[in-house]
Copies of this chain bind each other. A is one copy, B any other.
């Protein structure tokens, strides 16, 4: 299984009054990682782009240790745990050398913005996603 790696820069204002990166901001980091994984068109590498529209149907996130602002990015590893006809589940780890800050997953539904309705995953998209599929995952 391949994992997509994104180096996510922090901003100083990501910290809240408790002096830690606010829990909501972690979801912003996941969005950045997901966009880097799913929106970036990488022709010639078999990449596909969901930039035309994708809707978040569900998030789950577990916070494992506090994160404080620093100038170095955190690493977000992203992979896929489920692919159905019209949705996929993206999993993440927000980490550092040896430290894990959060584990999360997001159910994403491809969306046709022009027609304002969900759409099915194409065969090309499925082939792209399967390269990042969790070893134990079941594909519908």
Q: Is the CB of B17 within 8 A of A35?
A: no
Do the beta carbons of B23 and A59 come within 8 Å of each other?
A: yes
Contact of A55 among B17, B24, B31, B63 (CB under 8 A): B63
A21 (CB) vs chain B CBs: closest residue? B17
In the complex, the answer to whether A16 meets B15 with C-beta atoms within 8 Å is: yes
State how many copies of this chain the complex holds: 4
B63 and A61 contacting across the interface, CB-CB below 8 Å = no
A71 — nearest CB in chain B belongs to which residue? Answer: B40
A86 at the interface (CB under 8 A from B): no
**In the A-B complex, the 7 residue pairs with the closest CB atoms:** A15-B17, A23-B56, A24-B27, A9-B9, A17-B19, A12-B35, A58-B62
A-B contact pairs, 19 of them (CB 8 A): A9-B9, A11-B32, A12-B17, A12-B31, A12-B39, A13-B22, A13-B24, A15-B16, A17-B19, A17-B69, A23-B56, A24-B27, A24-B28, A55-B66, A56-B63, A57-B62, A58-B60, A58-B61, A59-B60
